[in-house]
Amino acid sequence: MDHSWSANWFNEKFIREGDLNKSYHLFQLQDISEFPGLIASHPELRGLNVTIPYKEKVIPFLDELDSTAGSIGAVNTILIERAGGKIHTRGFNTDAPGFLQSLSGLDLPGQALILGTGGASKAVAWALTRLNIRFACVSRQKRGKDILSYQELTPDIISRYPFIVNTTPAGMYPEVDTCPSIPYHLLTGNHFLYDLVYNPGETLFIKQGKSMNAMTMNGLQMLFNQAELSWKIFLSNG
């Protein structure tokens, strides 16, 4: 579970770095409208990470976005600055550079399918654009000419877009028996399947890819990368 991983990782990081007066806690909101109350009722808060489904929904509640988060339209890290009785919140996106870093040194196909259209999908699109990789997004429902439906994934499409990135929660623990509805039987050894899900380490999406000799990768390295970037942002706030 991402929430448990984050708490353990950051608290262990505080100990290793000697910041024994700092700690990382979990806050579960029933609705994003509870966000302002969370900030106001916890004056010790200096930063937050944001998870699904609030990476886009939290933006209207923030005072400022950095350029990356602004261009992506999704936030997963928030810096909370308090001075003179005033609170200033600034949103960042470390998912996108974390994903980009995880691809370093790989020989990547030139065209990709991004499965999903949420905040994580936007972060992946940002990274692929910087790698000059053309991409198309895939959604459960057809939404305009720029977003394909799963029913439109013909043999030609699967052949022309060999890099396939799952940004949906399909297959994430505890729903380990689920996976995106792509035609796995059309995959070959020329395909590369990347699953942003990291728990379990080998999702059904990845298992299906391996069965067709595709190259595969889970989201663990991206998770490490984005956590380190979030840590640096939090550190800037003292």
Per the residue annotation, which of 55, 57, 207, 210 is the catalytic one?
A: 55
Nearest to 103 by CA among 17, 2, 212, 194: 194
Residues in Cβ contact with 58 at an 8 Å cutoff, skipping those fewer than 6 apart: 32, 35, 50, 75, 78, 91
Q: Which two tokens stand for residue 94?
A: 């470390």
86 as an active site residue: the answer is no
**What is the distance between the alpha carbons of residues 193 and 175, in angstroms, rounded to a whole number?**
19
**Strand runs labelled E in the chain:** 47-49, 64-65, 77-83, 86-92, 111-115, 134-139, 147-149, 163-166, 192-195, 215-217
Nearest to 74 by CA among 59, 88, 53, 89: 59
- Give the catalytic positions in this structure: 55
